[in-house]
């Protein structure tokens, strides 16, 4: 830096450090008078000297007049009026790099086992703008996920965003584990948001397994953590995926679940005084979802193929969050409890699921075979009650007769063991063989 530039810099720098003070704590919200800050800035709240208590990290989520509303990243049980509040004047940054691969992180990007981060990492912001729409390359290449019913009937493209919609206990985590182990993506980034504490280790050891973990980065924010930590878990995982996309990789981002992120945002919104809108969800929930989901997809360097699970309340697939997310994403996979009860795993309801980009990703022969598969399955299900009670007589309908003939093969195609690995090429070949008469 030139001497004249240095003098000018020193002349314009603010040499005062301004602090605020805690006024009150209401619920999960800390209210302070000052300091000067912006929405999204990270703040430190310092205890009085000699108290032996640790400083608290928080984020500015709102303000009114001179009062600043701060949401803490940890549970606050020992805070007092008058504690100093310092603003960093910048949002949350995390450390990223190849050394994170194979690790389990918390919402702040730190190892969940308490170990230290390596030194050879770089800072990366957690909140970034989505790519410019005109700079997004079209999605033209399919991405193999290793699940026969998806690769064959709901083909996903590199950079596509898709939702898995299901009630509790229908197999979302199991399906995510299968995809993480079998996908041809360069790297998995998996966000477990709002999960029970025991489920995190179970997913890593049983569903993901050592094979999946060695090519994955897991970000976990359990249900006992403050709402802000659950929200930040989603932003941190997305930021990590963006880092590797910018390096030119094809990344698979899996987030379980978007519903719990919306619930956490509702907690924050209600605490800051937002009015409850649709079924208690605040307006900020519905403005946050598209901003978060649009960050994935393609850019000039690489792609983020995103799979978001949506926990539908009482199996109501038209509840507000499910309806909003379905309108943003490029397709949806519906897991059906009735199919799971019949022992069909993965319990994907093909007739209620769709990949909006499949037509531009596969050959005409493949697309026609998938459509015929759907037509036969739909014909059988429309007549299933008549068939089961014996009211249907063979020969009454050529279409129903054909559906009855193919139904056992159709169900066999849809079923897949969790440890069964199958390529997209094999899935398509089996689909074609099903109608060629030599399906085994």
351 is a domain residue: yes
| 379 and 331 in a common domain | no
Q: CB within 8 A of 306, min separation 6: which ones?
A: 160, 161, 162, 241, 253, 254, 255, 293, 296, 297
| 347 and 297 in a common domain | yes
Among 315, 343, 359, identify where a domain stops.
359
Grouping H, G, I as helix, E, B as strand and the rest as coil, residue 381 is: helix
| 149 and 236 in a common domain | yes
| 383 and 425 in a common domain | yes
- Return the pLDDT at 243: 95
Average pLDDT, the chain: 88
10 is a domain residue: no
- Return the pLDDT at 297: 92
Each residue of 226-274: pLDDT tens digit?
889 999 999 999 999 999 999 999 999 999 889 999 999 999 888 888 8
6 is a domain residue: no
| 288 and 330 in a common domain | yes
Q: How many CB atoms lie within 10 A of CB 67?
A: 14
Q: Which domain holds residue 177?
A: 94-359
CATH number for 211: 3.40.50.12240
| 183 and 242 in a common domain | yes
1 is a domain residue: no
Each residue of 57-110: pLDDT tens digit?
899 988 888 889 999 888 777 788 888 898 888 888 999 999 999 999 999 999
Strand partners, 305: 252
**Is residue 70 packed enough to be buried (19+ CB in 10 Å), middle (13-18) or exposed (0-12)?**
buried
CA distances from 375 to 181, 304, 369, 396, 411 (A): 31, 32, 10, 18, 14
Among 90, 109, 138, identify where a domain stops.
90
CATH number for 55: 2.40.10.170
Q: Is residue 284 within 8 Å of 291, Cβ to Cβ?
A: no
Phi-psi region of 170 (alpha: psi -120 to 50; beta: other; left: phi over 0): alpha
- Return the pLDDT at 383: 85
422 is a domain residue: yes
Assigned token pair, 53? 């208590």
Grouping H, G, I as helix, E, B as strand and the rest as coil, residue 338 is: helix
Distance between CA 40 and CA 81 in Å, rounded?
23
| 197 and 108 in a common domain | yes
Residues of the chain below pLDDT 50: none
Within 312-427, strands assigned E span: 331-334, 354-355
Q: CB within 8 A of 401, min separation 6: which ones?
A: 394, 395
Q: CB within 8 A of 64, min separation 6: which ones?
A: none
| 214 and 354 in a common domain | yes
7 is a domain residue: no
CA distances from 230 to 60, 72, 176, 194, 257 (A): 16, 12, 19, 6, 10
Q: Is residue 138 within 8 Å of 151, Cβ to Cβ?
A: no
| 249 and 119 in a common domain | yes
Among 359, 391, 415, identify where a domain stops.
359
> What number of residues does the chain have?
440
The domain total for the chain is 3
| 222 and 76 in a common domain | no
Nearest Cα to 331, choosing from 299, 374, 297?
A: 297
Q: Do β-strands 303-311 and 161-166 pair in parallel, antiparallel, or remain unpaired?
A: parallel
């Amino acid at each position: 830096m030139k001497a004249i530039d240095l003098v000018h810099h020193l002349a314009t720098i603010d040499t005062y450090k301004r602090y605020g003070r805690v006024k009150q704590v209401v619920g999960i919200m800390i209210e302070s008078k000052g300091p000067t800050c912006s929405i999204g800035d990270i703040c430190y709240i310092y205890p009085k000297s000699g108290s032996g208590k640790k400083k608290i990290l928080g984020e500015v989520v709102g303000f009114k007049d001179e009062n600043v509303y701060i949401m803490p990243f940890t549970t606050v049980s020992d805070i007092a009026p008058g504690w100093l509040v310092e603003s960093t004047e910048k949002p949350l940054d995390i450390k990223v790099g190849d050394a994170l691969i194979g690790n389990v992180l918390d919402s702040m990007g730190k190892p969940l086992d308490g170990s230290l981060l390596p030194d050879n990492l770089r800072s990366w912001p957690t909140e970034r703008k989505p790519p410019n729409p005109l700079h997004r390359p079209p999605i033209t290449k399919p991405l193999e996920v290793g699940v026969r019913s998806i690769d064959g009937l709901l083909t996903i493209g590199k950079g596509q965003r898709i939702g898995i919609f299901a009630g509790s206990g229908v197999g979302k985590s199991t399906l995510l584990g299968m995809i993480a182990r079998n996908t041809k993506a360069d790297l998995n980034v998996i966000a477990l948001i709002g999960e029970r504490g025991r489920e995190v280790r179970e997913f890593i050891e049983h569903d993901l397994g050592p094979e999946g973990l060695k090519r994955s980065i897991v970000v976990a924010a359990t249900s006992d953590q403050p709402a802000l930590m659950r929200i930040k878990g989603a932003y941190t995982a997305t930021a990590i995926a963006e880092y590797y996309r910018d390096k030119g990789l094809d990344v698979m981002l899996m987030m379980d679940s978007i519903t719990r992120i919306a619930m956490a945002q509702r907690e924050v919104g209600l605490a800051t005084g937002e009015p409850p809108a649709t079924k208690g969800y605040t307006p900020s929930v519905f403005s946050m979802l598209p901003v978060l989901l649009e960050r994935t997809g393609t850019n000039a360097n690489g792609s983020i193929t995103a799979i978001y699970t949506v926990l539908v309340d009482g199996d109501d697939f038209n509840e507000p969050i499910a309806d909003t997310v379905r309108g943003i994403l490029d397709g949806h996979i519906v897991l059906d409890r009735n199919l799971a009860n019949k022992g069909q795993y993965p319990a994907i309801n093909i007739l209620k699921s769709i990949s909006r980009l499949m037509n531009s990703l596969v050959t005409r022969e493949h697309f026609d075979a998938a459509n015929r598969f759907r037509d036969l399955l739909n014909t059988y299900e429309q007549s299933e009650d008549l068939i089961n009670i014996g009211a249907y007589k063979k020969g009454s309908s050529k279409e129903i007769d054909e559906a009855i003939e193919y139904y056992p093969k159709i169900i066999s195609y849809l079923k897949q063991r969790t440890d069964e690995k199958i390529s997209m090429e094999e899935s398509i070949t089996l689909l074609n063989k099903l109608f060629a008469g030599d399906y085994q």
